[in-house]
Structure 1
Amino acid sequence: MNVHWKDCKKILCIRLDNMGDLLMSTPAFRALKESFHCHLALLTSAAAAPVTAGIPEIDQVIIFNAPWVKHDHVATPETYRELVETLRKEHFDAAIIFTVYSQNPLPTAMLAFEAGIPLRLAYCRENPYQLLSHWIPDEEPLHVIHHQVERDLNLVAHAGAEVISTRLSLQTNETHWPGIIKKMRLCGADHLRPWIVMHPMVQDAKRQYNFHKWVEIGRQIIAQHQCQLLITGNTGEEADAEILKNAIGEGAVNLAGTLSVAEFALLIRKSPLVISVNTGTIHIAAATGTPVVVLYALTNLQHTPWRVRNEVLYFDVPPALQSRNVLLQYSYHQIPKHQLKKATVENVLKAVNKLLQPAGSSTEKKPGI
């Protein structure tokens, strides 16, 4: 093989899962961009694609909802073959496959192989033989578990990429702010009064936190901090958010389904604090430097907020909803549950109080500013 990593000028990064996973890969994207000064393309899912406009390292986005990744789209052999031809025509020098340790990289490796991409790198548990030109034996979670950011940085380091900065990459656009203010007003919020963002909804049932506890947390925050509580959510979650808003009462505002991803990211950046379950929201908060309280279901503990002020509080997953993935089952049974701080209402309120206190910086955010 005559192609070498140092000569790559057109690299395809493949991250086929969700928005939060994609954001955790951005330090690795930056390392590739700065090391190889290359055209960086991204193959990602429709779910993750909306956030790519704020990631400056990415030059090109190709969307594919892979049949080996969980999503609501119907995949067909025809769309797979069309993608192979699309990738073949792009003449990429290399493909780097980013995965969570519980994902098998080989279907994606086959895709890159069929597209004729000469260099193909991924973590892999078994010997991939010709499907990957370069691979790292995957020791997670049997011997070690790295944070997802570190896992991805170690992967690109195998290709010779040097890491200069490990911060998450996400730019926000101030031009969206007038439109956000208008939407806030239409929903009953006042942008001149303090607020805190609560993002309680999540599609994955095992990550859903108790509704009645959300209500109590919301009421207590509004009462203790004399602020508005902006309830955010995705399109399709408006009705659930409205039920929660009504249950919390005065001071709660339903913004679910009203904001684009770009607007949502800017709102997060301008907020003093975000409270959420373990979804893409917490990684947007990390990328924008916004303190975050995470009510964390006991899944994928390597996906906690990266290098931002945070408090992570844990709750267990009901047995019927626990993953059937053997690796995730193994990891779950290794968790020292008795040592983790529980996601009780009391602990959430303490975490909110703690993170709203100044961290000794003159640039500390103020509520709603």
Structure 2
Amino acid sequence: MRGGLKPSLSLIKKILIIRIDRIGDLVCTIPSIRALRKNFPDTRITALLSLYNSDLISDTELVDDIIVWKNNMPGEEKQYLIKNLKERKFDVVLVFSPYTEAYKLAYLTGANIRAGIVLKSRFLTRVFASFCLNYIFLLDQEGKLRKKEPLLHEVEKGFALLEVLGIKEPDREINLLLPEGFITECRQYLNSGMIKDQKGIIGLPLCSRYIKAGWSVNDLAILAEDLRYRFPEYLLLITSGNQEIKDGEILKKRFLDKYGILVRGPMDVRLWAAFMQNMSLVITIDSGAVHLASSGKVSSVVLYPPEIYELCSQEWVPWKVRYKQLIMKDFKDTRDEILEAADELLKGEKGSVL
């Protein structure tokens, strides 16, 4: 940790957390936020979160306030947000999102302690961060990859940042607690599709990354049918988000009368989290789904495109659950590997645990 000041911890009354990226990032930051709450029980903690993520922890006791950040925010709205941040007079700002916009927002708060995670590989961003922050946790993931050294998991990065406040917390479980209403809605929906002699439920969240990797909607439909055939005692749930509405509708029509397959369209992020936590196994390319599943102690089969496998298979490993990680190839070359990995995890025979 680089920094030129020594924080007076007893004077900290207001803390701002900046996490303005994707849902998996926020889920992996939950243990750090919990540690903050534990170590500063009387401090007011505010979180600046991206629009889609903002509801995920809104009903928890982790934070006192949530401010919503929108990508491509109009100038007038952004100026109002900055004014709001300044007026709150934060003592500490912790930047978990390694982006120039996040560093700029931290600087504009005027907080005495501005600490953030900075990627060594992004030179210009690093220079900008050194101007905006007075504490920097410099992360050299690419350098470690070249040296074949183990990488820090996203959860561990957060705790490295907390060292600026003297926090060394052994409890690093995600443990995302959801409102009872969403849990009830989730279970009622799943019960509506219950099959004979059901052992559990397999989750197959749709993600635009499948299409970007060269897979088709038909490939995913075939995979769904394969899973039902291979595991007839498991209900299959397919979920889609706002970016997969069209694909979700195609699969919903295809499986409208298919016994043992449910297709659920876009939903509140807390309901999606409840679904992922209530699976027996999740099969996905989406790290958000992986970590939501991990928050419910659910195992995952995770697919990574070959160009990012080495990085993601360490940085985004399913947290403290059993898992199998696969290099994503053409569908025909990956299909059987997915089924075998799912079989091993459902039988409890194999699978790594971080």
TM class, shorter-chain normalised? 0.7 to 0.9
Structure 1 residue 255 corresponds to structure 2 residue 268 = no
Return the alpha-carbon distance in structure 1 between the equivalents of residues 347 and 153 of structure 2. 27
- Of 269, 272, 289, the residue aligned with 2:277 is 269
- The structure carrying a bigger strand percent of its residues is 2
Whether the aligned pair in 1 keeps the contact of 2:287 and 2:316 (CA below 8 Å) is no
Could you say what secondary structure the match of 1:25 adopts?
helix
Structure 1 residue 348 corresponds to structure 2 residue 354 = no
**Letter aligned with residue 291 of structure 2:** H
Structure 1 residue 39 corresponds to structure 2 residue 37 = no
Note the aligned Cα RMSD (angstroms): 2.9
Q: Deviations over 1:208-249 (max 9, x none)?
A: 744344233221221122132111112463441232355565
Q: Deviations over 1:268-316 (max 9, x none)?
A: 2222111111231111001111111112234351123111111111226
- The 1:137/1:282 distance shift into structure 2, 3 A limit, reads closer
TM-score by length of 2: 0.80
Structure 1 residue 137 corresponds to structure 2 residue 138 = yes
Following TM superposition, the consecutive aligned residue runs of length 4 or more in structure 1 with deviations greater than 4 angstroms are 127-130, 181-185, 191-194, 207-210, 245-250
Structure 1 residue 309 corresponds to structure 2 residue 293 = no
- The 1:216/1:39 distance shift into structure 2, 3 A limit, reads same
- The 1:152/1:183 distance shift into structure 2, 3 A limit, reads same
- The 1:253/1:31 distance shift into structure 2, 3 A limit, reads same
Whether the aligned pair in 2 keeps the contact of 1:23 and 1:169 (CA below 8 Å) is no
- Hey, what does 1:332 align to over in structure 2? none
Return the alpha-carbon distance in structure 1 between the equivalents of residues 348 and 321 of structure 2. 14
- Of 53, 61, 67, the residue aligned with 1:62 is 67
How far off is 1:13 after superposition?
Answer: 0.6
Return the alpha-carbon distance in structure 2 between the equivalents of residues 273 and 158 of structure 1. 37
| Alignment of structure 1 residues 65-214 onto 2, 5 Å | 65-66=70-71, 74-99=72-97, 103-104=98-99, 106-124=100-118, 125=120, 126-127=126-127, 128-143=129-144, 145-184=151-190, 189-190=193-194, 193=198, 194-202=200-208, 206=212, 209-214=215-220
Return the alpha-carbon distance in structure 1 between the equivalents of residues 241 and 19 of structure 2. 21
Could you say what secondary structure the match of 1:275 adopts?
strand
Whether the aligned pair in 2 keeps the contact of 1:27 and 1:166 (CA below 8 Å) is yes
Return the alpha-carbon distance in structure 1 between the equivalents of residues 320 and 6 of structure 2. 39
- State the identity as a percent: 23
Return the alpha-carbon distance in structure 2 between the equivalents of residues 107 and 149 of structure 1. 22
Structure 1 residue 52 corresponds to structure 2 residue 46 = no
Could you say what secondary structure the match of 1:52 adopts?
coil
Return the alpha-carbon distance in structure 1 between the equivalents of residues 223 and 276 of structure 2. 19
Return the alpha-carbon distance in structure 2 between the equivalents of residues 173 and 132 of structure 1. 36
Whether the aligned pair in 1 keeps the contact of 2:117 and 2:161 (CA below 8 Å) is yes
- Hey, what does 2:235 align to over in structure 1? 228
How far off is 1:59 after superposition?
Answer: 1.9
Could you say what secondary structure the match of 2:168 adopts?
coil
- Hey, what does 1:19 align to over in structure 2? 23
How far off is 1:262 after superposition?
Answer: 2.2
Aligned length: 322
Whether the aligned pair in 2 keeps the contact of 1:293 and 1:312 (CA below 8 Å) is yes
- The 1:81/1:270 distance shift into structure 2, 3 A limit, reads same
Return the alpha-carbon distance in structure 2 between the equivalents of residues 314 and 273 of structure 1. 18
Q: Deviations over 1:83-104 (max 9, x none)?
A: 11101111111101013xxx43
Return the alpha-carbon distance in structure 1 between the equivalents of residues 11 and 213 of structure 2. 43
How far off is 1:16 after superposition?
Answer: 0.7
How far off is 1:3 after superposition?
Answer: 5.3
TM-score by length of 1: 0.77
Bigger shift: residues 269-278 or 3-12? 3-12
Whether the aligned pair in 2 keeps the contact of 1:51 and 1:261 (CA below 8 Å) is yes
Whether the aligned pair in 2 keeps the contact of 1:207 and 1:278 (CA below 8 Å) is no
Ranges in structure 1 where 5+ consecutive residues have no aligned partner: 67-73, 318-341, 361-369
- The 1:304/1:146 distance shift into structure 2, 3 A limit, reads same
- Hey, what does 1:294 align to over in structure 2? 302
How far off is 1:17 after superposition?
Answer: 0.5
Return the alpha-carbon distance in structure 2 between the equivalents of residues 343 and 216 of structure 1. 13
- The 1:354/1:92 distance shift into structure 2, 3 A limit, reads same
Return the alpha-carbon distance in structure 1 between the equivalents of residues 186 and 339 of structure 2. 27
